[in-house]
Structure formats: structure tokens, C-alpha cells
Amino acid sequence: MEARTTTDRIEVRGTVQPLANRDVQVAPQASGRLLAVKVREGDAVTLGQEVARIDDGPLIDSVRQAEAGVARARADRENAETTLVRVQRVYERGIAPKQEADDAVARSAAARAAEAEAEATARQARRQLDRAVVKAPLAGVVLKVWKRPGELVDGTTATAVLEIADVSSLELVADVPAQDLVRLRRDAVATVDFPPIPPLHATGTVSLVSPTVDRVTGVGAVRIALAPSSTSPPVGVYGIGRIDTGGTRAALFVPGVAVRASIGRDGEIVACGTDGRAHVKKVRLGSTEGASVELVEGLGANDRVAIEPVLGLAEGDPLEEVR
């Protein structure tokens, strides 16, 4: 056990994600059967690039039907207008009654409205046909492909075909307990390690500190914007961020090999009692510095801990002190 002064840091654990506004699930706006998916996971795409296509046969039929409706409505409108002109002339000569002239005006107005409605229906049908071609809404990389050719989509986000993200800017997204959340500030400097990829490290700054916590879990979100690097971590990889809060404090450290059965910040350490026997202690862990781990609570500065071997020790086992 070692007492020393350390930089005040908060350790957060989360996963690497694209920026929230640079990650989209692409879902067709038209329903039908997928005719083709033209990209694979990992492919780079450009803005507006065709990434999938829906069978447009039924949509073409809808356009033709709507256009036929426009032609019919236009003919009805032209006929109604011709009739109106003829009736008005007869009415002006005092031959036709006023009611007949009024009816002709109403029929002409109804025909114009029907034509406008038919044209709107045709425009909507053409838009749906255009939507049979699914285009990338941003430039980036295909992260996931969920649908395959032949599968049905319903024109809603419930049947997204693929996910595209701009991976040029990444964040570490973590959930932090309230007691740590209030100590963090935007633009604080952070370092990030990726345990699944030991050689890879990153620096960054805090881009978001959530102003709220979940009422059930008591945690809030923190985002660390990672600095651009020639070697970027893959999206979804687990990372540990250490955020500098700007101060120093006294802390207790033990060798990392002394900690066993650790889950998150909770761990277990075998302490050596005054009776020379093992006593298993539950401890709260803090930051990691090199091969040492900070003890937040569970042991005092004068306690001694077992370091080798610790996995096989049970409560009450005799310990041998090595100097």
C-alpha cells in the first residue's frame, strides 16, 4: 500500500461512437420488396450515392394510374369550362335561366378542383417512384447492413436497411454516476485507453456533460471527443477515459496484481490482518496509474495486502510476509 499525491482524475468507461449527428440508419421512404442492396459493411459511400433499390414495378403502375387520372380530370375541366362559356352566352341573351348559369359555374369550379387533386396525386406517386432508389444521406462508411435483397420494407424507420456513419470524428460515450458527473466540465482534457487494443491510445476533450441523470440508474452521459489520429479505434470498441479535473489530492495505491474479482469499480482485495491471516475485503477502486490501482474506500493507509498469489487465498488462510 502506498500513499501519494495524484492528479485528480475521473475514470469513465464506455464505447467509441460516431458523433450523434453523423450517424444515420437509412430506411427507404417507400414500401415494397428490396431489389438490390449495393453496398457492404465497411464500404465508403458518398453523399447521394445509390445504396439500395426497391422493386419499382408497383410504383410505376401507381404513377401511370395517377397520370391517367390527371388526363381524365383535365378533360372534365375543359368540358366544364366550354359548357360554362356556352351557358353564359345563352344566359346573357335571356334564354337560359340564372340557375342553369350558376350550375355551370359550380361544375367548372369542381372540375378545376378535381384536376388539381389529380395532379397532386400524380406528384405524390412520382415522388414515391423516386424513393425506390435509396441514397446515402451523408458521406461516410457503412457500419451495418440489416436487410438483404428479397426482404420487405414498409417505408418506416422500423425497417432500416443499413447504417452509415462519418467516422472521421469519433467520441467515447460513457455513463457516469452523479457524484462524478458534477465534478466534470466541458473541454476538460482526457486520455483514453482501449483494453481490447492495448497498443492504441488517444487523447481528447470532454464535449458533453449531461445536465440530468437517469432516475432509475442514477447515471448521466459523458462524451469525450477523440483527437484525430492516423490510427482510429473501431466503432463500438470498449474504452477507458481518464479525465483531468484540474486539481491534486492524496490517494492510496496498491499494486494492480493485488486486486481480484473486479467488476467495474468494485473489487476484492486480500488484506493481511494482525493475526497474520488472510481477510477478504470489498473495496472501491479509482484511477489506474501504471501498474498501480487507486483504492477509494475499503482499506486504510496502514493496512497490508497480499499480492501473490491472490486468487487461491480464502478467509483465514495463513500469510507469509516477504520483505
Confidence of residue 8 (pLDDT cuts 50, 70, 90): confident
Query: Considering the domain boundaries, does residue 14 fall inside one?
Result: yes
User: What average pLDDT does range 182-199 have in this prediction?
Assistant: 91
* 88, 217: one domain: no
Buried b (16+ CB within 10 A) or exposed e, 118-138: bbebbeebeebbebbebebeb
* 26, 136: one domain: yes
Q: Is the pLDDT of residue 1 over 90?
A: no
User: What average pLDDT does range 107-122 have in this prediction?
Assistant: 95
CATH of the domain at 208: 2.40.30.170
CATH of the domain at 119: 1.10.287
Domain C-terminal end among 192, 212, 245? 245
pLDDT of residue 11: 86
* 105, 238: one domain: no
User: What average pLDDT does range 270-289 have in this prediction?
Assistant: 85
Query: Considering the domain boundaries, does residue 291 fall inside one?
Result: no
Give the chain's mean pLDDT. 89
**44-101 residue pLDDT tens:** 999 999 999 999 999 999 999 999 999 999 999 999 999 988 888 888 877 878 888 8
pLDDT of residue 159: 92
Domain C-terminal end among 245, 273, 297? 245
pLDDT of residue 322: 67
Rounded to two decimals, the pTM is 0.67
User: What average pLDDT does range 289-296 have in this prediction?
Assistant: 82
What are the angstrom distances between the C-alpha of 273 and each of 178, 276, 304, 308?
A: 34, 5, 8, 16
Identify the three-state secondary structure at position 62. helix
Among 100-104, 197-201, 206-210, the range of highest mean pLDDT? 206-210
> Which residue has 356556352 as its cell numbers?
86
Query: Considering the domain boundaries, does residue 302 fall inside one?
Result: no
* 184, 199: one domain: yes
pLDDT of residue 114: 95
Element at 278 (helix H, strand E): strand 278-289
Domain count, the chain: 3
CATH of the domain at 31: 2.40.50.100
- Percent of the chain at pLDDT above 70? 97
* 26, 48: one domain: yes
- Of the candidates 305, 315, 311, 312, which has an alpha carbon nearest to the alpha carbon of residue 285? 305
Q: Is the pLDDT of residue 4 over 80?
A: no
* 107, 90: one domain: yes
Query: Considering the domain boundaries, does residue 304 fall inside one?
Result: no
Q: Is the pLDDT of residue 119 over 90?
A: yes
Contact indicator for 172, 204 with CB cutoff of 8 Å:
yes
User: What is the span of the domain harbouring residue 222?
Assistant: 9-18+167-245
Query: Considering the domain boundaries, does residue 79 fall inside one?
Result: yes
Among 75-79, 271-275, 318-322, the range of highest mean pLDDT? 75-79
* 209, 150: one domain: no
* 175, 225: one domain: yes
* 95, 74: one domain: yes
CA-derived radius of gyration, the chain: 35
Query: Considering the domain boundaries, does residue 116 fall inside one?
Result: yes
* 90, 182: one domain: no
Contact indicator for 241, 173 with CB cutoff of 8 Å:
no
pLDDT of residue 50: 96
**Rounded distance, CA 233 to CA 173, Å?**
13
**Rounded distance, CA 217 to CA 213, Å?**
8
Q: Is the pLDDT of residue 102 over 90?
A: no
Confidence of residue 253 (pLDDT cuts 50, 70, 90): confident
- Of the candidates 233, 231, 181, which has an alpha carbon nearest to the alpha carbon of residue 206? 181
**211-242 residue pLDDT tens:** 999 999 999 999 999 998 878 899 999 999 99
Query: Considering the domain boundaries, does residue 281 fall inside one?
Result: no
- Percent of the chain at pLDDT above 90? 58
* 74, 44: one domain: no
**17-52 residue pLDDT tens:** 999 889 999 999 999 999 999 999 999 999 999 999
Q: Is the pLDDT of residue 262 over 80?
A: no
Q: Is the pLDDT of residue 265 over 80?
A: no
- Taking residue 54's Cβ as centre, other Cβ atoms within 10 Å add up to 26
Contact indicator for 242, 6 with CB cutoff of 8 Å:
no
* 109, 212: one domain: no
What are the angstrom distances between the C-alpha of 47 and each of 53, 142, 173, 233?
A: 16, 12, 26, 24
Confidence of residue 110 (pLDDT cuts 50, 70, 90): very high
Query: Considering the domain boundaries, does residue 298 fall inside one?
Result: no
Element at 4 (helix H, strand E): strand 2-18
Domain C-terminal end among 226, 245, 264? 245
Q: Is the pLDDT of residue 274 over 90?
A: no
Confidence of residue 312 (pLDDT cuts 50, 70, 90): confident
Confidence of residue 166 (pLDDT cuts 50, 70, 90): very high
